[in-house]
Amino acid sequence: MDALLLMILAFAGYIVMYNLYGKYIARKIFALSGDAKTPAVELEDGIDYVPTKKEVIFGHHFTSIAGTGPIVGPAIAIIWGWVPALLWVFIGSIVMGAVHDFGALIISMRNQGKSISDYTAKYVNNRTRFLFFLIVFLELWIIIAIFGLVIAVIFAMYPQSVFAVWMEIPIAIYLGHLIYKQGKNVMAWSIYAVIAMYVCVFLGPYLPIKMPAIAGIPPTGVWTIILLTYAFIASVLPVTTLLQPRDFINSHQLVIAMALLVLGVFVSAFSGSLEIVAPAVQSSPAQAPPMWPFLFITIACGAISGFHSLVSSGTSAKQVRNEEDSLFVGYGSMLMEGALATLVIIAVAAGIGMGYTPKGGETLTGVAAWTAHYSSWAAAAGLGSKISAFVDGSANMIMAIGISKKFTLAIMAVFVASFAGTTLDTATRIQRYVISELFSGFKLDVLTNRYVATAIAVGSALILAFATGASGKGALKLWPLFGAVNQTLAALALIIITLYLKAEGGLKWLVAGIPAVFMAIMTLWASIMNQLKFGAAHNVLLQVINVAIIVIAAWILVEGVIKFFAPGEKPTIHPEPVTV
């Protein structure tokens, strides 16, 4: 199938399903009301609870859930073929991911903006609340520790991106000051901010920054320390100071990058230089695990991701000013992420065929280019390999519209690094909420302070990052667990949404219940297969943690099933704190 036609059909499908399925769920399933008072209004504090225009909160929400997820997942899953990758992204985002994100957002907004971990007690029990906190803490712990390394790797691969990524911070702070302190027009001044951002992007190739080793700490370790320090500061600042304006800039940056990609697809397709060179289906690629169930945990962001429920019920639920805005924010942003993942699939399935140069080799085109990059699972699985497949493929398509490769690479590298930075600071803020909520249940008020809770979040991530040495790569030890942990969280979030809808009466629960069953089966299946792999490799650490994850997930699943079939029970007001 022609890449251009593929893109047009997918995008049209997202628009149609937003207006059909998304609006049906909003009106008939969750019964959104513009008269309902949201936590952002009711609990406004100027720090975390801040009523925000839907366009601004959409920018924050989308850039927080996206990160590098919809890039790295499709960029490796394409090894099983572009058809299964695209089908999972398209169907998964519409009937699973968007329902998951939207549901978590709505339930949190109807529970004072509490995280999904905390309101689990209301819909299941206290015991499940505590177990849910353990899963969430583990996921965020890995994300915070690994994303410092992710950004460090991007900076090493594309030093021309460093200047613009860091200049975005003062630009965002000034934008926030203009909007919230001086009352300037949001749209106009955010456009000026984006122009300033792109001036920095185009200066980047002339000002490449390469981090040296400092005091015996390699560049990746130095960047990890700097980035986690930044994450601490960003987490404790009011959302209007940095988080919202930065994410609003990033949302514009996303629109520009996607517009360039779409235009690149059109131009290169009409010139005859763009064609899909990846196989439609490749069921047994070299060294790869089986497509079932691993496709469904390899592509998370872009289809369905448990991390999204943490963003929905963490930062976004505290900022949506009108309940009716949540459709655009929760459901719409997931479909936008599906559109981004679709472009990623086109970039790595077709764009890479326009020209790819392996290390130390001659430039290849067509099927040979794709085959060289995806010769085996091991060849394509590294972080750098995934990112370069997308950046190089995208650059090839964008160059077709007349932008030089030097600037095209800078644009795409800044795009990827900026989104990774947004995920890092949002994950840190969410971990702060999680720690505060958890310790509030134990009546340890000193640990609920935002500075103390953030210090615990960042400090624990630093310990993990440097557990294996000064390189900051310690989180890679636990990274093989992340896909299954993340999708297990998605399944558990869907279970909570199902229980919420079950209590509402009727068959509303089916919209979340069917996806919950599917994700529970896929993730437990993958976790068990991982356990066998870890056992064969004699990796005791991963075996122990993976078993704990399986037990916790199974326990919450059983508790959820029991609650589901309990006759005539309605969720009670938030119960007394858990004691263990």
CB neighbours of residue 24 within 10 Å: 12
* C-beta separation of 344 from 264 below 8 A: no
* Crossing angle of the two packed helices 54-66 and 405-441, in degrees rounded to 10: 100
* Angstrom distances, CA of residue 457 to CA of 323, 447, 477, 549: 30, 11, 19, 20
* Closest among 519, 522, 416 to 71, alpha carbons compared: 416
**CATH fold group of domain 3-468+481-565:** Hydantoin permease (1.10.4160)
Q: 363 CB contacts (<8 Å, ≥6 apart)? A: 355, 356, 357
What is the CB neighbour count within 10 angstroms for residue 12?
10
234, 242 Cβ separation under 8 angstroms: yes
Q: Which residues contact 229 (CB under 8 A, 6 or more apart)?
A: 458
Q: Residue for token digits 């609650």? A: 563
| Nearest Cα to Cα of residue 298 among 486, 147, 141 | 486
Handedness of CA 116, 122, 127, 130 (dihedral sign): positive
Cα dihedral: 92, 250, 456, 434 (round 10) = -40
DSSP string covering 358-406, please? -TTS--B-HHHHHHHHTSSHHHHHSHHHHHHHHHHHHHHHHHTTT--HH
pTM of the model: 0.91
CA distance 36 to 59: 23
Between CA 522 and CA 229, with CA 149 as vertex, the angle to 5 degrees is 120
The vertex-94 CA angle with 93 and 98, nearest 5°, equals 70
- Amino acid at residue number 393: G
Task: Give the pLDDT of the chain (580 residues) as one tens digit per residue.
Answer: 588 999 999 999 999 999 999 999 999 999 999 999 999 999 999 889 999 989 888 988 988 888 777 888 898 899 999 999 999 999 999 999 999 999 999 999 999 999 888 888 889 988 888 888 989 999 999 999 988 888 988 898 889 999 999 999 999 999 999 998 898 888 889 889 999 999 999 999 999 999 999 999 999 999 999 999 999 999 999 988 988 888 888 888 888 988 999 999 999 998 888 899 999 999 888 888 999 999 999 999 999 999 999 999 988 999 999 999 999 999 999 999 999 999 999 999 999 889 887 776 778 888 888 888 887 776 666 666 777 888 888 989 999 999 888 888 889 889 888 888 888 988 999 999 989 988 887 777 788 899 999 999 999 999 999 999 999 999 888 988 888 899 999 999 999 999 999 988 889 999 999 999 999 999 999 999 999 999 999 999 999 999 999 999 899 999 999 999 987 655 544 444 333 3
Instruction: Report the C-alpha gap between 266 and 260 in whole angstroms.
Output: 10
Where along the chain do its domains lie?
A: 3-468+481-565
Handedness of CA 425, 428, 433, 436 (dihedral sign): negative
